[in-house]
Structure 1
Amino acid sequence: AKAANSPADKSKNKGGRGSKKQVFESYMAFEEVSHGLKRGELIQGQIRINPKKYHEAFVPSPDDTRDIFLDGIVARNRALNGDIVVVQILPREQWKVNCTYLSVYSIVLVCKPDVLNFWRQLFKNFVCTNDNLRSETFCLVFHLFLGSSLSFVLRIVNRHLPFVWQVVYIVEKKHSRAVTGFLKFLPDKPFAMFSPVDHRVPRINVFLADCPEDFSSRPGDYSNTLFICRITSWAADSNFAEGQLAKTLGQAGEIEPETEGILVEYDVDFSEFSDEVLDCLPKNLPWTIPPEEMRKRRDLRKECIFTIDPSTARDLDDALSCKQLPDGNFEVGVHIADVSYFVGEDNALDAIASQRATSVYMVQKVIPMLPRLLCEELCSLNPLTDRLTFSVIWKITPEGKILSEWFGRSVIRSCVKLSYDHAQSMIEAPEKMFSAEELPPADPEHPIDEIHQAVLNLHSIAKNLRAQRFSGGALRLDQLKLSFTLDKETMMPQGCYVYQYRDSNKLVEEFMLLANIATAHHIHSRFPELALLRRHPPPKAKMVDELQELCDQLGIDIDLSSAGALHKSLNTTLGDDEYTTARKEVLTHMCSRPMQMALYFCTGVLKEEPLFKHYALNVPLYTHFTSPIRRYADIIVHRLLASSLSAYFLYKIQKQASHCNDKKTLSKRVQELSSELFFGVFVKDCGPLDSEAMVMGVLDQSFDVLVLRYGVQKRIYCKSVAGLDSFHHRKVGKKSELTLVWTPEDPEKAPEEQVISIFTLVEVQLKADGAPMKYSAMLKRPEENES
């Protein structure tokens, strides 16, 4: 299709004498893109740029078998990571590909049926006897001319055409266009060069008039100053974007400036809530439940209901209850804060919650979705306080079989705020009589031993529910999570540790899953076209096949055919030595790579119900109901539960579902960056840190390791390893190996070789880099490993 210039391109490229050479292709017109997508000539998807090799980018293919590869910045055509783009095949003269495949591709594209038939007849009597004729190229032609479908041939050819795609249109700029980085003075230029910390973003020209007043005279004063810059334009005739400085953050390497930079870059709204928003909240404090509201609800205030949360949690949005019945069964309740009571539809509070979509959790702070008065007071299920809730109550057998189910709005009064540590202590000491001093303040109407017994009963039922889930085909990929201890005054990291996921965590998780599954079925049965659900697509088939081939070659008995088969494989003993756990961690990381993200969606948009399925949980319907204080999707689900939502249209729910997906993805990345930031400070202040590490992946000049003591992943580049004489890479099938040749410390000794492959154990040292907040993993010599 013929490309049309966008208005921005036209203003920059008027042709004639003195016009600049165009670096990027002009974007197509919207009408051409629409027609091209309908005809299948163009493909739309979200672009991912490799953070470690920023010249590589990918867009998912429509059939989800293999990603479309974009080679180089020019092919990306000014799109940034996360943007929704449209791509097409480059003109053939720009293809970089084996000429034989190019010829076959040309035949496929231009030959008429009668010409193809002629060639098919010509090849009919050919037999692959000669070794050369057994080559893949010949077999490809052979398949084509003997009647194989063109789609089959094109799939083979496309494996050998990895560099032929380019972006022709940006549908939606998902990237915030705000980046952190540093300013560099350029003599005799009217602008400074802004270098983003994220190498996936281009360098940006910033006019000197927009820079600090004394920047031109004293540029050295700003060499370590972190700025935020917003890209304002990027012309087709320039390698560099143009932008404006949004803010001076402070000195690089300090936690608060770096944190603010992360939040702005990932478009997290951390501003104070406006007066208009706060005016939506009750004015008469302390707030009490109106009598007319009490009459509409089931009164559960006399029941033994309690919360189990992290010890530092202040937004308590879920509570549990468990009462044994005379027939030996149990009445189990999940009680969720009724946030939708306070967040009315289409007011200022609803608008800001809808826009933020999620609370963002960082190491040292939380950016809340809702004002703190709601999060920590009005909606938080604080102990010894009447609170509005949505409840799901089951009659359930000790084995975990559900006999009946009730949904409804309720009022509860939590009798105690337990931490995971408190609940874990109760589980580990079933016969112990806990004293009042060992637990937080509790309602005297419910003795401590009653609470203890309820926790034990919940734990017993949860174990049965969990066993049923996994025997029924569910999957859980647990990965190491780094946590920090902070100085209470400075909020700087004092230490770090790998978070332990224990029985008390599993107890809460099991009943939250049960409530979410039950709610999904409930709202889908009543609103089949409007239900907001959460689906988890199966892993990428091509990546699964490659991983299966690699594991087979490594002699690892793993079954990737389904979620349940994979879970069973990972929990089968991988060996009986001390490194079995480490191997399982590495294998879990490898199995996580093909996995796709779970997504919110409106049921009216996806017509085929099998697509609703949640792959990891192996359930047909799932949603989010249990965390409305921190997730807007849950508020919508609460509204669906409460009414017919006749004012809500399908497109509105789907639009909000897509927005929640985007914000959840960004929130997850911000959380990861916050953890990386604090660990970088910890390494700088407390390092160098020595640890064993296990190799996770091998490339031609580097390898990735999982640092076992801290659960972090790092890449080690062979060229940067001190004391290394040379290195050699070889690949057999899917298995890669690096042979490192160490320079002997004793000149009279022969060089020592070290073979690096998946699951190899090495010793590394984590050491701060010269750059702020950065650290490297340095490989130690094999001799040091033995000492």
Structure 2
Amino acid sequence: MSKKKQKHNSSIKQVLTQMVLDIFEKNGNIPQNYKQVSAALNVHDDEARKVILEILKDEAFAGVLKEISHGKFQLVELKTFVEGKVDLTNDGSAFIVTDDTDESDIYVAPRKLKNALNGDRVKVYVYAKSKGKRKEGEVIEIIKRAKTEFTGIVKLSERFAFFVPDDRKMMHDIFIPIADLNGAKNGIKAVAEITDWPPEAKNPIGRIKHILGEQGENDTEMNAILAEYGFPLSFPKEVEEESEAIPDVISEAEIARRRDFRNVLTMTIDPVDAKDFDDALSFRKLDNGNYEVGVHIADVAHYIVPDSALDKEAFDRGTSVYLVDRVIPMLPERLSNGLCSLRPKEDKLCFAAVFELDDNARVINEWYGKTVIHSDRRFAYEEVQEIIEAKEGEYSEEILTLNALAYKLRDAKFKNGAISFETTEVKFKLDEKGKPVGVYVKERKDAHKLIEDFMLLANRKVAEYVSKLGKGKNKYTFVYRAHDAPNPDSLGNFAQFAARFGYRINMKSDREIAKSLNFLMTDVEGKKEQNVLTHLAIRSMAKAIYTTKSSSHYGLAFDHYTHFTSPIRRYPDVMVHRLLFHYLNGGQSANAEHYEKLCSHSSAMEKKAADAERASVKYKQAEYLKDNVGSIFNGIISGVTEWGMYVEIIENKCEGMIRLRDIADDFYTLDEKNYAIIGQRKKKVYQLGDEVRIKVKNVDLAKKQIDFSLVQDR
């Protein structure tokens, strides 16, 4: 028999085995013989019934079934079916995280994973639980692979090749037939795709899909990070062609359909190196003494037709990705940096939220609709900051008024219970080859906050406007940005830890919590423990997500909030524009179930983009410290685990690990409740936030890993 036919028969038998076991499960584990099982499966062919008898005997031999009387079988343990996601551990076993939040995770031993990989969605048999024991099970079906493409290194021999994945949770090397190397040489970094995994094979079979380049080269490593998190390295040809086919010229008919702001002072304020400008502010003083501030957002939805190749690609990506040295846009450059970018001295199409504000920044009137603008000036943040500080310069009167209004919007937000998380953002100075030659912390000043406050205003008011459409169960479907209140236990643990630094968190009400956290954030600014406390506070909070469910935003203390202001770089904003325009034109409520699925995908892609960004920072930190092996620095303990403690160097914010086995003066263990590592004999304590001296011991660029050793006090 050919190998192909053997493999086909093996697959059929595997499926039939599952169907046979299902019969016992569905019938309450009543003892049955092969004839009864065949009848239940509607199998009457003698040859097929023989195969079923063979399966019953094989499963009895394997210990899954037991023969309780001659020819009658029963499951050894009654099992139940559960679906969930594989969370692989370092030893190759896994926990299956189910959709039911009340259910505990199910442990699966390595031999019972059936080739399931980390993140895969699987179907699991759960064994009957013995008293006091954890739930255990085995994977019986892989419903959906989390990923089939991996970055890694090609290892070549004369007759075959293996591919060693970078992903530490991918425990299997991938076998690559010589014919599928796609020109890859030994030691090269590449992207491999799993094409097959026969049930009896230890390793999956794959092919080399892309060659990334030599290990250690900047472009190679940055592209490897993108590929690792599932972001494409280029746009498909049909997407590029579709974007190129969009006309440059704005027709007079299109302008006539819009509110014309081309004669109103309009400006953009962005980072000095920005290429896409998706928001602009228009400003004028009204005859009644109030101010009109327009928040004009690039009208991406005008250019992207639903279900077009452009639209599908933007949805799949979900977001632009911001790595240390580059931006991978959600849209092709012709749109992101050209047609949609609100460049100065050019007519541009926008979707706007226009507000009439009084001297106290209270909204007197609001208007939403399509506009055409002509930006008078493209400002960098630094230029606006100079004008704010010097109180003079081009458009200084307008900028100072906008800044004063922004302050009032900010004060109102904090009085209402918003929380101010000012995290330190680490930036690298790179040479022409992308190698880091310096590290600095990016400062957020009034110019940044001015833009942020007006964007928050637009996002909040758009969400409030749509939330009032319809009544009760007939509320209109919309895409909201939701942020739940923190878990009381997580917040309680953080409050206990903050108390060690002299900060008290009042837990009486949401408003008191916010007030306490804001005091902490202000007081801790510039202190050595700032990063540790800020990151711990953020970790105690719930994660913000996109959803159609109209819920509040805890961190901002807004009853309704959405993302309206960045459609060039976020797909949810495109959805918001489409829905808002539909409703402004008298459209009925959209399908909530459909939009909830789109929201779920958008939230997942946002998380992947954030993980990719963190990976690029980790790589550059490792690369920066590569030339500093043996150097001694002062650091702050930024994390504790059962195998070591993370330390962030105060001088450059690079983070590495001191492994507990490398601390020679005692045997140290984790005290999880107190965020501490404690010596068992001498009782010396190393606690989160403590200052320590470290030596850079080792740097592994491939793993983005930095190892420190503790410089012990004499």
Provide, for residues 106-136 of structure 1, a one-character-per-residue CA deviation record: whole Å limited to 9, x for no partner: xxxxxxxxxxxxxxxxxxxxxxxxxxxxxxx
Question: Counterparts of 1:434-513 in structure 2 under 5 Å?
Answer: 434=393, 448=394, 451-487=395-431, 489-513=432-456
Identity of aligned residues (%): 28
2:668 pairs, out of 718, 728, 734, with 728
2:105 pairs, out of 57, 63, 68, with 68
Provide, for residues 437-492 of structure 1, a one-character-per-residue CA deviation record: whole Å limited to 9, x for no partner: xxxxxxxxxxx1xx2222212221212211221221222433332212223x4333
Quote the residue 1:664 is aligned against: 606
With over 3 angstroms needed to count, the CA separation of the structure-2 counterparts of 1:524 and 1:397, relative to structure 1, is: same
Quote the residue 2:42 is aligned against: none
Q: CA deviation at 1:374?
A: 1.3
Q: Distance in 2 between matches of 1:322 and 1:72?
A: 64
Paired amino acid for 1:720: D
Quote the residue 2:479 is aligned against: 532
With over 3 angstroms needed to count, the CA separation of the structure-2 counterparts of 1:90 and 1:473, relative to structure 1, is: farther
Provide, for residues 327-360 of structure 1, a one-character-per-residue CA deviation record: whole Å limited to 9, x for no partner: 4432222111111111122322222222222222
Say whether the 8 Å CA contact 1:230–1:243 is kept in structure 2: yes
- Specify the SS of the correspondent of 2:404: helix
Q: Distance in 1 between matches of 2:64 and 2:160?
A: 25
2:181 matched to 1:181?
no
TM-score by length of 1: 0.73
Paired amino acid for 1:616: G
Structure 2 unmatched runs, 5+: 1-9, 19-50, 66-78
Structure 1 unmatched runs, 5+: 27-39, 96-100, 103-160, 216-220, 435-447, 604-608, 742-751
Quote the residue 1:737 is aligned against: 677
With over 3 angstroms needed to count, the CA separation of the structure-2 counterparts of 1:6 and 1:500, relative to structure 1, is: farther
Say whether the 8 Å CA contact 2:700–2:706 is kept in structure 1: no
Paired amino acid for 2:257: K
Paired amino acid for 1:618: A
Quote the residue 1:266 is aligned against: 229
Say whether the 8 Å CA contact 1:766–1:775 is kept in structure 2: no
Q: Distance in 1 between matches of 2:684 and 2:60?
A: 50
Quote the residue 2:560 is aligned against: 621
Q: CA deviation at 1:268?
A: 0.9
Question: Counterparts of 1:408-419 in structure 2 under 5 Å?
Answer: 408-419=369-380
Quote the residue 2:537 is aligned against: 591
Corresponding residue pairs, total: 651
With over 3 angstroms needed to count, the CA separation of the structure-2 counterparts of 1:539 and 1:69, relative to structure 1, is: farther
Q: Distance in 2 between matches of 1:22 and 1:417?
A: 75
2:645 pairs, out of 698, 703, 712, with 703
Paired amino acid for 1:291: E
Provide, for residues 353-383 of structure 1, a one-character-per-residue CA deviation record: whole Å limited to 9, x for no partner: 2222222222222222222111112111111
Paired amino acid for 1:300: F
With over 3 angstroms needed to count, the CA separation of the structure-2 counterparts of 1:464 and 1:574, relative to structure 1, is: closer
- Specify the SS of the correspondent of 2:367: strand
Q: Distance in 2 between matches of 1:711 and 1:24?
A: 54
Q: CA deviation at 1:626?
A: 0.4
Q: CA deviation at 1:184?
A: 4.8
1:643 pairs, out of 575, 582, 598, with 582
- Specify the SS of the correspondent of 1:572: helix
Paired amino acid for 2:421: L
With over 3 angstroms needed to count, the CA separation of the structure-2 counterparts of 1:332 and 1:688, relative to structure 1, is: farther
Q: CA deviation at 1:516?
A: 0.7
Provide, for residues 247-304 of structure 1, a one-character-per-residue CA deviation record: whole Å limited to 9, x for no partner: 33332222222222222222212223424653455565xx332111111111111111
2:171 matched to 1:202?
yes
2:127 pairs, out of 85, 90, 99, with 90
Quote the residue 2:32 is aligned against: none
Q: Distance in 1 between matches of 2:364 and 2:570?
A: 30
- Specify the SS of the correspondent of 1:333: strand
Q: Distance in 2 between matches of 1:48 and 1:547?
A: 26
Paired amino acid for 1:206: F
Say whether the 8 Å CA contact 1:277–1:348 is kept in structure 2: no
Paired amino acid for 1:176: K
Paired amino acid for 1:59: V
2:544 matched to 1:602?
no
- Specify the SS of the correspondent of 1:593: helix
Say whether the 8 Å CA contact 2:323–2:612 is kept in structure 1: yes
With over 3 angstroms needed to count, the CA separation of the structure-2 counterparts of 1:231 and 1:555, relative to structure 1, is: farther
Say whether the 8 Å CA contact 2:476–2:590 is kept in structure 1: no
Q: Distance in 2 between matches of 1:8 and 1:459?
A: 71
Say whether the 8 Å CA contact 1:358–1:369 is kept in structure 2: yes
Q: Distance in 2 between matches of 1:213 and 1:328?
A: 69
Paired amino acid for 1:676: K
Paired amino acid for 1:471: K
Paired amino acid for 2:480: L
Provide, for residues 398-452 of structure 1, a one-character-per-residue CA deviation record: whole Å limited to 9, x for no partner: 322211111111111111111111111122222xx33xxxxxxxxxxxxx1xx22
Q: CA deviation at 1:717?
A: 0.3
Say whether the 8 Å CA contact 2:104–2:135 is kept in structure 1: no
Q: CA deviation at 1:505?
A: 1.3
Paired amino acid for 1:503: D
Say whether the 8 Å CA contact 1:46–1:84 is kept in structure 2: yes
Q: Distance in 2 between matches of 1:231 and 1:177?
A: 5
With over 3 angstroms needed to count, the CA separation of the structure-2 counterparts of 1:270 and 1:700, relative to structure 1, is: closer
Q: CA deviation at 1:692?
A: 2.3
With over 3 angstroms needed to count, the CA separation of the structure-2 counterparts of 1:73 and 1:596, relative to structure 1, is: farther
TM-score by length of 2: 0.80
- Specify the SS of the correspondent of 1:706: strand
Say whether the 8 Å CA contact 2:495–2:504 is kept in structure 1: no
Q: Distance in 2 between matches of 1:703 and 1:366?
A: 32
Q: Distance in 2 between matches of 1:283 and 1:428?
A: 43
Q: CA deviation at 1:87?
A: 5.6
With over 3 angstroms needed to count, the CA separation of the structure-2 counterparts of 1:183 and 1:213, relative to structure 1, is: same
Provide, for residues 600-626 of structure 1, a one-character-per-residue CA deviation record: whole Å limited to 9, x for no partner: 2234xxxxx5xx222222222211110
Q: Distance in 2 between matches of 1:551 and 1:22?
A: 58
- Specify the SS of the correspondent of 1:710: coil
Q: CA deviation at 1:678?
A: 2.4
2:214 pairs, out of 251, 260, 266, with 251
Paired amino acid for 2:685: V
Say whether the 8 Å CA contact 1:361–1:671 is kept in structure 2: yes
- Specify the SS of the correspondent of 1:581: coil
Q: Distance in 2 between matches of 1:783 and 1:601?
A: 52
Paired amino acid for 2:504: D
1:420 pairs, out of 349, 369, 381, with 381
Paired amino acid for 2:232: D
Paired amino acid for 2:213: G
Quote the residue 2:618 is aligned against: 676
Paired amino acid for 1:537: D
Higher relative contact order (CA 8 A, sep 6+): 1
With over 3 angstroms needed to count, the CA separation of the structure-2 counterparts of 1:200 and 1:260, relative to structure 1, is: same
Say whether the 8 Å CA contact 2:417–2:510 is kept in structure 1: yes
Paired amino acid for 2:430: L
Quote the residue 1:778 is aligned against: 708
Please identify, of 302-311 and 196-205, the stretch whose mean Cα deviation from structure 2 is larger.
Answer: 196-205
Q: Distance in 1 between matches of 2:314 and 2:403?
A: 34
Question: Counterparts of 1:558-573 in structure 2 under 5 Å?
Answer: 558-559=505-506, 564-572=511-519
Say whether the 8 Å CA contact 1:762–1:779 is kept in structure 2: no
Please identify, of 544-553 and 225-234, the stretch whose mean Cα deviation from structure 2 is larger.
Answer: 544-553
Q: CA deviation at 1:387?
A: 0.8
Q: Distance in 2 between matches of 1:23 and 1:230?
A: 33
